[in-house]
């Protein structure tokens, strides 16, 4: 059965009332507002009761038989630091490196690792110890860079740090594609899309999977963000992440034009729905249901989006927790608060992608600005969720696509250095539902260059996220190009049970 055949059969056998595709998302074109719907009953276009949510069925239902087991987490907030945060400047404390300043990294440590073109031509590979201060914080005694992450230092007892994540890719685009889709090859489905496909969401008026791409400091090296990082790949298009804008209207063209009332819009959609339903009955093309669903979600979001973005109901204490930037749409801080508001409203997956972490030179200044932009809001998000009881069933994930080298790229001094890409080991963390709080897992060598204990592949990490959400990653498949595709690939991956409660 080819991909279209499978999607058509899915639409036909499970009934129109559960099959509507989310169109390819975008911002800046008129179709953007219409791409903000996932599973909406196709019959809603001709059934007023269903359209109003009165007995018309669940908008975002889970697949039959899902979840596979009792989930610890009901929702995910994924904070992706795009560009590769430097693990030895943030989390992986290596005080002994001070004795190696400006000495070449031993060949026995570097081994035969493939180098990027940025440093493969260097004649020397001088060690650059972190210039920043580390302290032990929390009851767990976690070593953390308090110069850069003073606020995150206050939540170390809530997080499980994995120090030994590793990946296959050495350049940004394939590495980002890998960590988000389980493969370096474009065209696969993102983790958010997999979760939306399998589990749906509890929100009838918002998408199941929402994405923010906030602003970042001007000192950051802006790697491109490709929509494949939140795209549905071979999955039905309605499971793509929906990008909410950080400036101007969150969704373009969502408001009715002047002179068009809500009743006018409703009559128009009813007429279009009847026409599109006739088309579906004739051709059985699931994309026709997508069109019906897009219009219906856009109609409902005319009221749900303004309510979502209105912070009038937030207390002064909550706003103060996040800081002044929380009132500035487009900032990481504002996106973090929006993430909490979205999961409160039943959205399954929220992803925030913060750029600028690619620091080949002038790292101390650039990483300082990146952390100033994200540290407080990250800690505030976890604290806010915890205070509201939401952390009990919400999973928060933080990490990049790879780490950085211990040796310096370019000019090296005690106060200034750069670092190249490093796929062999980097740090990611989880907090919340089902995660052992205050632990560290895995260990690296004295140079934060090789894993020496408990390696965790990026697909092991993804398998663990799925497990927490109640999904067996080996049983979660989608037939495409003759293979039972999985987020975690065809090779064996494992759930990192050591970090779970």
CA distance 484 to 25: 26
From residue 197, alpha-carbon distances to 3, 60, 157, 232, 316 in Å are 15, 9, 33, 9, 37
| Two tokens, residue 188 | 């696969």
pLDDT (tens digit per residue) in 245-292: 877 777 666 777 888 888 887 888 888 888 888 988 888 887 787 677
Residues 6+ apart with CB under 8 A from 36: 22, 25, 207, 242, 251, 294, 297, 298, 301
Per-residue model confidence (pLDDT) at position 58: 62
The answer to whether the CB of 145 falls within 8 A of the CB of 90 is yes
Decide the pairing of beta strands 209-212 and 439-441: unpaired
| CA 191 centroid distance within chain | 8
Per-residue model confidence (pLDDT) at position 253: 67
> Minimal CA–CA distance to 277: which of 157, 137, 199, 285?
285
CA distance 418 to 423: 16
Q: What are the domain boundaries of the chain?
A: 60-259+326-492
Confidence of residue 297 (pLDDT cuts 50, 70, 90): low
pTM, rounded to two decimals = 0.86
The answer to whether the CB of 23 falls within 8 A of the CB of 237 is yes
441: helix, coil or strand?
strand
From residue 318, alpha-carbon distances to 104, 150, 152, 374, 387 in Å are 48, 19, 17, 17, 10
pLDDT (tens digit per residue) in 77-127: 999 999 999 999 999 999 999 999 999 999 999 998 889 999 999 999 999
CA distance 327 to 287: 38
The answer to whether the CB of 81 falls within 8 A of the CB of 354 is yes
pLDDT > 70? residue 3: no
Work out the widest C-alpha separation in the chain, in whole angstroms: 75
Per-residue model confidence (pLDDT) at position 39: 38
Within 10 Å of residue 121's Cβ, how many Cβ atoms? 7
CA distance 120 to 102: 18
| Two tokens, residue 268 | 């128009």
| Two tokens, residue 26 | 């975008």
Torsion, CA 92, CA 98, CA 100, CA 101, rounded to 10: 110
pLDDT > 70? residue 204: yes
CA distance 480 to 490: 13
Confidence of residue 480 (pLDDT cuts 50, 70, 90): very high
Q: Cis peptide before 460, with omega less than 30 degrees from 0?
A: no
The overall average pLDDT reported for the chain is 87
Residues 6+ apart with CB under 8 A from 77: 339, 340, 343, 350, 351, 352, 381, 394, 395, 396, 397
CA distance 205 to 298: 9
> Minimal CA–CA distance to 341: which of 210, 466, 430, 236?
210
pLDDT > 80? residue 35: no
Within 10 Å of residue 435's Cβ, how many Cβ atoms? 24
Lowest model confidence (mean pLDDT) among 138-152, 201-215, 434-448: 201-215
Residue with tokens 């750029």: 355
From residue 228, alpha-carbon distances to 183, 210, 225, 241, 466 in Å are 11, 14, 9, 10, 19
Per-residue model confidence (pLDDT) at position 150: 98
Q: What is the CA radius of gyration of the chain?
A: 23
CATH number of 60-259+326-492: 3.40.720
CA distance 204 to 304: 10
pLDDT (tens digit per residue) in 320-329: 999 999 999 9
Buried b (16+ CB within 10 A) or exposed e, 252-276: bebeeeeeeeeeebeeebbeebeeb
Confidence of residue 451 (pLDDT cuts 50, 70, 90): very high
Per-residue model confidence (pLDDT) at position 426: 98
């Amino acid at each position: 059965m080819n991909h279209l055949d499978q999607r058509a059969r899915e639409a036909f056998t499970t009934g129109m009332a559960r099959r509507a595709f989310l169109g390819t998302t975008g911002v800046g074109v008129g179709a953007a507002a219409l791409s903000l719907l996932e599973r909406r009953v196709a019959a809603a276009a001709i059934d007023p009761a269903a359209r109003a949510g009165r007995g018309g069925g669940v908008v975002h239902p889970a697949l039959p038989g899902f979840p596979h087991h009792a989930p610890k987490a009901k929702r995910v907030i994924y904070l992706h630091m795009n560009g590769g945060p430097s693990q030895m400047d943030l989390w992986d404390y290596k005080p002994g490196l001070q004795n190696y300043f400006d000495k070449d990294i031993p060949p026995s440590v570097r081994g035969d690792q493939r180098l990027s073109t940025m440093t493969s031509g260097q004649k020397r590979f001088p060690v650059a110890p972190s210039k920043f201060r580390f302290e032990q914080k929390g009851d767990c005694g976690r070593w953390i860079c308090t110069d850069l992450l003073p606020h995150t230092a206050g939540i170390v007892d809530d997080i499980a740090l994995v120090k030994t994540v590793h990946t296959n890719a050495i350049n940004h685009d394939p590495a980002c594609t890998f960590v988000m889709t389980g493969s370096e090859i474009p065209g696969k489905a993102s983790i958010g899309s997999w979760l939306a496909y399998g589990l749906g969401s509890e929100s009838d008026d918002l998408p199941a999977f929402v994405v923010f791409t906030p602003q970042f400091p001007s000192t950051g090296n802006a790697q491109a963000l490709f929509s494949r990082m939140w795209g549905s790949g071979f999955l039905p298009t309605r499971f793509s992440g929906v990008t909410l804008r950080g400036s101007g209207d969150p969704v373009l063209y969502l408001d009715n034009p002047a002179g068009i009332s809500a009743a006018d819009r409703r009559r128009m959609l009813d007429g279009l729905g009847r026409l599109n339903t006739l088309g579906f009955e004739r051709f059985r093309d699931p994309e026709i249901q997508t069109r019906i669903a897009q219009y219906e979600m856009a109609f409902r979001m005319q009221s749900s989006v303004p309510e979502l973005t209105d912070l009038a109901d937030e207390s002064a204490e909550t706003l103060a927790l996040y800081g002044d930037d929380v009132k500035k749409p487009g900032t990481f801080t504002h996106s973090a608060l929006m993430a909490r508001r979205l999961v409160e409203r039943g959205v399954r997956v929220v992803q925030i992608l913060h750029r600028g972490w690619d620091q080949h030179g002038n790292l101390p200044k650039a990483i300082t600005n990146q952390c100033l932009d994200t540290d407080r809001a990250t800690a505030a998000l976890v604290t806010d969720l915890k205070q509201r009881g939401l952390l009990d069933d919400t999973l928060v994930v933080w990490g990049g696509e790879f780490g950085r080298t211990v040796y310096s790229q370019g000019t090296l001094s005690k106060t200034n250095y750069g670092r190249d890409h490093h796929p062999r080991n980097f740090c990611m963390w989880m907090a919340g539902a089902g995660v052992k709080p205050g632990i560290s897992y895995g260990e690296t060598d004295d140079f934060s260059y090789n894993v020496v204990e408990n390696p965790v592949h990026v697909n092991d990490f993804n398998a663990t996220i799925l497990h927490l959400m109640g999904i067996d990653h080996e049983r979660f498949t989608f037939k495409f190009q003759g293979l039972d595709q999985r987020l975690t690939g065809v090779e064996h991956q494992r759930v990192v049970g050591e970090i779970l409660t």
